[in-house]
Amino acid sequence: MLIIRLQRTGRENLPTYRLVVAEKARPVKGKFLEILGHFLPARKPAVLEVKKERVEFWMKRGAAVSNTAARLFQKEGMKGMEKYIERYTKKKSKGETPAEAAPEAVKAPAASAREAPAAPAA
Give per-residue pLDDT as tens, 63-85: 999 888 888 888 888 777 777 77
Would residue 105 count as lying in a domain?
A: no
**pLDDT surpasses 90 at 57:** yes
Q: Report whether pLDDT(16) > 80.
A: yes
Assess whether pLDDT exceeds 60 at residue 50.
yes
CATH number, position 25: 3.30.1320.10
- Which amino acid type is present at position 104? E
Residue 36 to residue 20: CA distance in whole angstroms = 5
Q: What is the per-residue pLDDT for 67?
A: 87
Checking if the pLDDT of 118 tops 80, the result is no
**Distance between CA 1 and CA 20 in Å, rounded?**
14
Is residue 112 included in any domain, yes or no? no
Answer yes or no: pTM beyond 0.75. Answer: no
Is 27 among the domain residues? yes
Asked, for residue 110, whether it belongs to a domain, the answer is no
Residue 118 lies in a domain: no
